[in-house]
Amino acid sequence: MDYVYGPGRNHLFVPGPVNIPEPVIRAMNRNNEDYRAPAIPALTKTLLEDVKKLFKTTTGTPFIIPTTGTGAWESALTNTLSPGDTIVSFLIGQFSLLWIDQQQRLKFKVDVIESEWGQGANLDELASKLAADRTHTIKAVCIVHNETATGVTNNLAAVRKLLDDYNHPALLLVDGVSSICALDFRMDEWGIDVALTGSQKALSMPTGMGFICASPKALEASKTAQSARVFFDWNDYLKFYKIGTYWPYTPSIQMLYGLRAALDLIFEEGLDNVIARHSRLGKATRLAVEAWGLKNCTQKEEWHSDTVTAVVVPPYIDSSEIVRRAWKRYNLSLGLGLNKVAGKVFRIGHLGNLNELQLLGCLSGVEMVLKDVGYPVKLGSGVAAAATYLQNSTPMIPSRI
């Protein structure tokens, strides 16, 4: 068994699941309750109202479903589309690949636009497809906002502009699993029809809650969608919304209280401040990578992610060994390279309830691991680059002095 007890806390820097703040852990430390009693519907009502704020929507309808991002994907697709419908879907990394696999297994006709891993969505090709689709056979465009495998963030406003320029009625479905509540996300302004995320990412909760928000246009599409759905059926939720009990089946009471605590932390900091904090930590991480003499997997600055950085290693180093050694020797958890970039990159997650000193500790650990595997890194170089930037940039939180 390849397990060695490491003293001290595990330093969790994968791009999800992330560290859970103590107030959330304490909020979940409670007994079960009757979810039909008045307290839980009252709590749920406030949670649904506040979840909408994360998506920056006033017109969307939120759903909280006990599932992971994969289940949220399925809910988004099956509630709005029918088998045989044509979807345009972008393939830019492992998670967009998995969503495309799901789309195909659900019997949709998927027109894949593929880019080299490390690049963003090819919007020129989307424009060509929209221009040629005069009969509007394309029913949806599906895009991953932030591709966790490669650290690539896509421009959603540009996708919406293309749909509007060609006056195309296709639904816009967005995976925001590793972006919502960490990156700039504007559901109403960008005309997104279905957006989704998961509790274990920027919300800094345990895995187990999928959050979906549907526009009025998406809800209208759900009335005629013919895909089979039971557990993920929005209509079941909407029926219970109307009668004020909210839950078509038993929710996790503990997770609901954890969500309340997580939202309180986010709103206390301010959502825009949370997004700015992620921007600073992302920039600091990229500066560290540059100081180490390594390259970012993301090929253009416009695609850089502020929630995860995929670091390309030299050909003589197996990035999987970096991840293994970091965990075994330093109790530091980094992300593996996946699929096409397996062995070629390791990933540093910098999202969720995270501060400057935590990030600098991670970067220090990465430097020691790089030294261990034979990479000629100058110890302290990346930490110094990141710390200098963080010290001289706008503080993420007001001073407590």
Please give the full DSSP string across 315-337, using - where no structure is assigned.
TTS-HHHHHHHHHHHH-EEEBPP
Q: Count CA within 13 A, CB hemisphere, residue 175.
A: 32
Contact 345, 313 (CB under 8 A): yes
Which CATH number belongs to the domain containing residue 283 in this structure?
3.90.1150.10
Q: 364 and 247 in one domain?
A: no
Is residue 87 classed as helix, strand or coil in its secondary structure?
strand
What is 161-224 written as a DSSP string? HHHHHTT---EEEEE-TTTBTTB---TTTTT-SEEEEETTTTT---S--EEEEE-HHHHHHHTT
What are the pLDDT digits (tens) for 68-82? 999 999 999 999 999
The whole-number pLDDT of residue 397 equals 57
Determine how β-strand 345-349 pairs with β-strand 295-296. Answer: unpaired
Question: Does a structural domain hold residue 182?
Answer: yes
Closest to 146 (Cα-Cα) out of 120, 172, 170: 120
pLDDT in tens, 277-298: 999 999 999 999 999 999 999 9
Classify 62 as helix, strand or coil.
Answer: strand
The two tokens of residue 102 are 């799901």
What does the CA dihedral 194, 337, 287, 392 come to, rounded to 10 degrees? Answer: 50
User: Which residue ranges make up the annotated binding site for substrate?
Assistant: 347
Q: What angle (nearest 5°) sits at the alpha carbon of residue 350, between those of residues 345 and 351?
A: 130
Segments forming the whole domain that contains residue 355: 11-19+271-392
**Do 286 and 195 share a structural domain?**
no
Instruction: Find out whether the peptide bond into 17 is cis, omega within 30 degrees of 0.
Output: yes
Q: Which among 75, 96, 87 is positioned nearest to 227, based on CA atoms?
A: 75
Rounded Cα–Cα distance for residues 212 and 276 (Å): 24
Same domain membership, residue 263 and residue 279: no
Q: For strand 109-114 and strand 86-91, is the pairing parallel, antiparallel, or unpaired?
A: parallel
Q: Are residues 195 and 316 in the same domain?
A: no
CA dist 232 and 165 (Å) reads 33
For residues 358 and 319, membership in a common domain is answered with yes
| Number of structural domains the chain divides into | 2
Inside any domain, residue 113: yes
Residues 203 and 253 in one domain: yes
Last residue of a domain, one of 267, 294, 309: 267
Q: How far is 176 from 182, CA to CA, in rounded Å?
A: 10
Within-domain flag for 204: yes
399: region left, alpha or beta (phi > 0 left; psi from -120 to 50 alpha): beta
Residue 319 lies in a domain: yes
3-class SS of residue 308: strand
- Let me know if residue 278 belongs to a domain: yes
Residue 171 vs residues 122, 163, 223: alpha-carbon distances, Å:
18, 9, 14
pTM of the model: 0.96
pLDDT of residue 394: 75
Task: Report, as ranges of residue numbers, the positions in the chain whose pLDDT lies below 70.
Answer: 1-6, 395-401
DSSP string covering 235-261? HHHHHHHHHT---SS---HHHHHHHHH
- The tokens for 312 are 């390309």
The one-letter amino acid at 330? Y
The CATH number linked to 102 is 3.40.640.10
Residue-level pLDDT at 317: 98
Q: Which amino acid is at 223?
A: K
- In what helix (H) or strand (E) does residue 141 lie, and over which residues does it extend? strand 138-144
Q: Would residue 400 count as lying in a domain? A: no
Answer with the one of 267, 291, 312 that is the final residue of a domain: 267
pLDDT attached to residue 399: 44
Question: How many whole angstroms separate alpha carbon 159 and alpha carbon 268?
Answer: 32
In a domain? residue 156:
yes
Enumerate the known binding-site residues. 347
Could you give the CA distance from residue 68 to residue 64 in angstroms, rounded to a whole number? 11
- Structural domain ending residue among the three candidates 207, 240, 267: 267
Whether residues 283 and 258 fall in one domain: no
